[in-house]
């Protein structure tokens, strides 16, 4: 059996002092047995979280929440692949919040995946349904139906599993579910045969709850 992959997407949340508090509370609850944990903080927090994890020797990976579709240069406000690679091995691409609020098109997502691969990062590519376009070079696919994000109404494990089977049939390596995951429902998803892990938003902001999710996943 593949180890579960549990990813925290903090979205646009947390200041430096809030992150220090989260890490202090999370560390005692953390148990890494056979599970890959990835935290995706805002870019401003990556350095702090990386130092903390190294100092405490915690085996937790870091991911960016986004990546510029351009390499270095005159792109004010952008964070490029090489800059992310200084801190993280993973990066989220194609999240529905970026598609909706920042008008990311399939063409932009293709450019992003090209750069992710060029700089040796691992993409976690978000899809909103089983027919969402997936660029070449993606191995980890996260199904996050829009109705389930931040609403408390997750998809059913059965339906998520069916999407997972369809995605796996196309040859993708890992399939994750995201959308209103919490410690109460996580096991019902990770016990499904096609689901290799979860992508957690709101519930990952609470260190104790996220610790529980990891244990129960
Ligand atoms: P919620 O867990 O808050 O529904 O968010 C899911 C998500 O968008 C993770 O990327």
pLDDT score recorded for residue 79: 98
- DSSP states along 66-128: ---SS-SSS-TT---HHHHHTT-SEEEE--HHHHHHS---HHHHHHHHHHHHHTT-EEEEEES
What confidence tier does 28 reach under pLDDT thresholds 50, 70, 90?
confident
Instruction: Tell me the domain boundaries of the chain.
Output: 5-216
> pLDDT by residue (tens digit) across 151-208?
999 999 999 999 999 999 999 999 999 999 999 999 999 999 999 999 999 999 999 9
Q: Return the structure tokens found at 7.
A: 């990813």
pLDDT class of 33 with cuts at 50, 70, 90: low
pLDDT-based confidence at residue 3 (cuts at 50, 70, 90): low
pLDDT of residue 116 exceeding 80? yes
For range 82-93, the mean pLDDT: 98
State in Å: Cα 132 to ligand 1 middle: 18
Report the residue among 8, 9, 38, 97 best suited for mutation to probe ligand 1: largest number of ligand atoms under 8 A from its CB: 9
For residues 107, 148, 185, 201, the Cα torsion angle rounded to the nearest 10 degrees is 60
Tell me the per-residue pLDDT of 48-80, one tens digit each, with 9 for 90 and over.
999 999 999 999 999 999 999 999 999 999 999
Percentage of residues of the chain with pLDDT beyond 70: 97
- Tell me the C-alpha to C-alpha distance, in Å, between residue 126 and each of 47, 60, 63, 92: 25, 21, 14, 7
Cα distance from N-terminal residue to C-terminal residue, the chain: 13
Ligand 1 pocket test, candidate residues 12, 95, 145, 201, most atoms within 8 A of CB? 201
Supply the pLDDT for residue 31. Answer: 63
Give the pLDDT of residue 188. Answer: 97
Which residue, by CA, sits nearest to atom 5 of ligand 1?
A: 201
CATH number of 5-216: 3.20.20.70
Ligand 1 center to 45 CA (angstroms): 19
User: Which residues' Cβ are closer than 6 Å to ligand 1?
Assistant: 9, 95, 144, 149-150, 178-181, 199-203
| pLDDT for the residue numbered 64 | 98
Instruction: Please tell me whether the overall predicted TM-score, pTM, comes out greater than 0.85 for this model.
Output: yes
For residue 152, the CA-to-ligand 1 centroid distance in Å is 10
């Amino acid at each position: 059996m593949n180890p579960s992959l549990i990813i925290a997407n903090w979205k646009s949340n947390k200041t430096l002092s809030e992150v220090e508090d989260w890490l202090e509370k999370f560390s005692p609850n953390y148990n890494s047995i056979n599970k890959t944990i990835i935290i995706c903080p805002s870019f401003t927090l990556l350095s702090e979280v990386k130092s903390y994890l190294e100092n405490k020797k915690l085996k937790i990976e870091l991911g960016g929440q986004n990546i510029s579709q351009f390499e270095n240069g005159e792109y004010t406000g952008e964070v490029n692949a090489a800059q992310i690679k200084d801190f993280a091995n993973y990066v989220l691409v194609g999240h529905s919040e970026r598609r909706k609020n920042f008008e990311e098109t399939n063409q932009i997502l293709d450019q992003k995946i090209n750069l992710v691969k060029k700089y040796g990062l691992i993409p976690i590519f978000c899809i909103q349904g089983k027919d969402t376009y997936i660029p070449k070079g993606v191995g980890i696919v996260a199904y996050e139906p829009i109705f389930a994000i931040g609403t408390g109404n997750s998809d059913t494990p059965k339906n998520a599993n069916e999407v997972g089977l369809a995605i796996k049939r196309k040859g993708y390596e890992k399939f994750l579910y995201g959308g209103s995951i919490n410690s109460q429902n996580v096991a019902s998803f990770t016990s499904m045969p096609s689901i290799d892990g979860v992508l957690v938003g709101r519930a990952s902001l609470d260190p104790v709850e996220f610790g529980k999710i990891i244990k129960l996943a």
